[in-house]
């Protein structure tokens, strides 16, 4: 039978000094608790249940795909497990308990912890780590034969116990039935007046039920986040871990310390990432793309061999061989079709730029559909908003939009049509026509010369 998982995430996280509950804080755009959920799932756990409490109205919407259980008052980690019992009614076999504030745990370690308990037939396995500085953690107290005897919280520890550097990481695998038989026997006679989950281990040992300690292969995985300093440290570890995996899979990073990639991003081979590149959310980048420097791409798809330079791309699709930037801003709903170009200081929203079309300089394009092989001159703006509602602009294949054209939507420019530079186009333009809207140019001979001579006389 597969393992189930329980993630404790009801605590406030006072030391974060934040309006936001601790587990909702993010690393690389993903809330801490989500990393733990994914590690549990990746480690084969099903179901995954999360205990929420403090800030539940913020935390639960992050967990729509898992079962959540409320712990209304946070009376300790043992009490949190008590609150979750109903969610595991009749559960048999392994139950992994994880901390929602420890996002660096990996699926491999979850699996190893389950295997450590199951292969030894122990009632519980505890993941431990030996730390240079164990401050703040519960200490692992071993008996004469080296077996785990109990865990003592720092606030309850003697000086001698405080000197122990082997700590409880807060990750466990229990025999589910045994856990729920014992978790109700806890008391809160300790320095913090809390029901400690750690005390279950001592109860088990007193009944001679075996408990094993498994040392973490990489103590960094067990880093619990209590402060914003630790949040930044964990983010650094995650950044390195993710970047390393991508580089080993064929991605070039000129300086991996200056590249940030979220955990849900997919990158193909031969992608090059320049410094100050952020790839976040559900983003996919295909083979041969060059991204950055100074680029942020969120929830977007980038096709093969595209170039995105010094730009922001959100909720958009950049197709094969398209070129974006420098300093373009693609907002949600934008599709840049194959071979198209969106150039310097161009903003595009909810629009399609057709195959091989170009919007090279200083434009705003909103709610527009641009056909194939269109040239949109510098400074062209779609006036899509009349102060009340948004209107569409359609530019058909092969049209040529003169520089500084105002396209007052709704408006349609027919295939092959041309607009004169500086025109405010308010009516549809038929195919192959020229539309010019500007006053006749006046030329006054000698005017400039006369002005010069006037000022010389003064
Ligand atoms: C806990 C362990 C400690 C271990 C450390 C590792 C206990 C008693 N102590 O201490 O041995 O070294 O983790 O990080 O378990 N939570 C709830 N409900 C509560 C209290 C806590 O859901 O009533 C959650 C928190 O949100 C957090 C996790 O449990 O995700 C750990 O709680 P925390 O208060 O941080 O425990 P520590 O004091 O760090
Ligand atoms: Ca903690």
**What is the spatial distance between Cα 118 and Cα 249, in angstroms, rounded to a whole number?**
34
Q: Is the pLDDT of residue 1 over 70?
A: no
Long-range contacts of 220-224 (CB under 8 A, 24+ apart): 220/104, 221/104, 221/105, 221/106, 221/109, 222/102, 222/104, 222/105, 222/127, 222/129, 222/169, 222/170, 222/171, 223/102, 223/104, 224/99, 224/101, 224/102, 224/137, 224/169, 224/170
Q: Is the pLDDT of residue 375 over 70?
A: yes
Nearest partner of 182 among 155, 163, 201, judged by Cα: 201
What pLDDT, on the 0 to 100 scale, is given for residue 92? 87
Segment 339-358 shows an average pLDDT of 98
| CA 107 from centroid of its chain's CA atoms | 18
**How far, in Å, from the CA of 64 to the mean position of ligand 1?**
23
**Residue in 170, 192, 198, 227 to alter for ligand 1 test, most ligand atoms within 8 A of Cβ:** 170
What pLDDT, on the 0 to 100 scale, is given for residue 457? 75
pLDDT tens across 278-290, in order?
Answer: 999 999 999 999 9
**What is the spatial distance between Cα 122 and Cα 107, in angstroms, rounded to a whole number?**
21
What pLDDT, on the 0 to 100 scale, is given for residue 12? 85
Q: Is the omega angle on the peptide bond into residue 207 within 30 degrees of 0, that is, cis?
A: no
pLDDT band at 2 (very low <50, low <70, confident <90, very high): confident
Pinpoint the residues of the chain covered by CATH 3.90.550.10: 3-222
**What is the spatial distance between Cα 311 and Cα 326, in angstroms, rounded to a whole number?**
6
Q: Is the pLDDT of residue 117 over 70?
A: yes
Q: Is the pLDDT of residue 166 over 80?
A: yes
The SS3 assignment for 136 reads coil
Q: Is the CB of 51 under 6 A from ligand 1?
A: yes
Q: Is the CB of 128 under 6 A from ligand 1?
A: no
| CA 41 from centroid of its chain's CA atoms | 18
Looking at domain 3-222, its CATH architecture is Alpha-Beta Complex (3.90)
Among all residues, which ones are annotated catalytic?
361
Share of the chain above pLDDT 90, in %: 97
Nearest CA owner, ligand 1 atom 8: 196
Q: Is the pLDDT of residue 262 over 80?
A: yes
Structural class in CATH, domain 232-435? mainly beta
What pTM did the predictor assign?
A: 0.93
**How far, in Å, from the CA of 211 to the mean position of ligand 2?**
22
**What is the spatial distance between Cα 194 and Cα 188, in angstroms, rounded to a whole number?**
5
Pinpoint the residues of the chain covered by CATH 2.160.10.10: 232-435
Ligand closest in space to the Cα of 137 = 1
What's the mean pLDDT when you consider all of the chain?
97
What pLDDT, on the 0 to 100 scale, is given for residue 121? 96
Segment 171-199 shows an average pLDDT of 97
**What is the spatial distance between Cα 108 and Cα 46, in angstroms, rounded to a whole number?**
15
Q: Is the CB of 76 under 6 A from ligand 1?
A: yes
Segment 13-17 shows an average pLDDT of 93
Q: Is the CB of 343 under 6 A from ligand 1?
A: no
């Amino acid at each position: 039978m597969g393992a189930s998982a329980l993630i404790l995430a009801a605590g406030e996280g006072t030391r974060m000094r934040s309006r936001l509950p601790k587990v909702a804080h993010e690393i690389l755009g993903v809330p801490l608790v989500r990393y733990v959920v994914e590690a549990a799932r990746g480690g084969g756990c099903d179901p995954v249940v999360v205990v929420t409490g403090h800030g539940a109205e913020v935390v639960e919407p992050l967990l729509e795909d898992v079962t959540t259980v409320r712990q209304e008052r946070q009376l300790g980690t043992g009490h949190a497990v008590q609150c979750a019992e109903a969610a595991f009614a009749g559960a048999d076999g392994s139950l992994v308990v994880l901390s929602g504030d420890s996002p660096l745990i990996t699926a491999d370690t979850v699996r190893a912890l389950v295997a450590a308990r199951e292969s030894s037939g122990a009632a519980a396995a505890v993941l431990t780590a030996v730390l240079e500085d164990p401050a703040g953690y519960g200490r692992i107290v071993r008996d004469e034969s080296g077996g785990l005897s109990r865990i003592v919280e720092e606030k309850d520890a003697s000086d001698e116990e405080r000197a122990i550097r082997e700590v409880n990481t807060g990750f466990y695998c229990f025999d589910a039935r045994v856990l729920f038989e014992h978790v109700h026997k806890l008391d809160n006679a300790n320095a913090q007046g809390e029901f400690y989950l750690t005390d279950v281990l001592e109860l088990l040992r007193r009944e001679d039920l075996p408990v094993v300690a498994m040392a973490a292969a990489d103590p960094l995985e067990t880093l619990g986040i209590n402060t914003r300093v630790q949040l930044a440290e964990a983010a650094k570890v995650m950044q390195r871990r993710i970047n390393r995996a991508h580089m080993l899979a064929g991605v070039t990073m000129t300086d991996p310390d200056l590249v940030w990639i979220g955990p849900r991003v997919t990158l193909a081979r031969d992608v090059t990432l320049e410094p100050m590149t952020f790839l976040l959310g559900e983003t996919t980048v295909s083979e041969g793309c060059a991204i950055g420097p100074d680029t942020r791409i969120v929830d977007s798809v980038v096709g093969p061999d595209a170039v995105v330079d010094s730009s922001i791309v959100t909720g958009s699709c950049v197709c094969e061989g398209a070129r974006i930037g420098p300093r373009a801003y693609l907002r949600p709903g934008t599709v840049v079709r194959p071979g198209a170009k969106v150039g310097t200081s161009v903003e595009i929203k909810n629009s399609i730029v057709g195959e091989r079309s170009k919007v090279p300089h200083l434009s705003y394009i909103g709610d527009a559909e641009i056909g194939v092989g269109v040239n949109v001159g510098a400074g062209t703006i779609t006036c899509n908003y009349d102060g009340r509602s948004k209107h569409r602009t359609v530019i058909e294949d092969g049209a040529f939009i003169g520089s500084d054209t105002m396209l007052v939507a709704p408006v349609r420019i027919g295939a092959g049509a041309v607009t004169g530079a500086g025109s405010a186009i308010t009516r549809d333009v038929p195919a192959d026509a020229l539309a010019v809207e500007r006053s006749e140019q006046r030329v006054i001979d000698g005017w400039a010369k006369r002005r010069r001579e006037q000022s010389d006389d003064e």
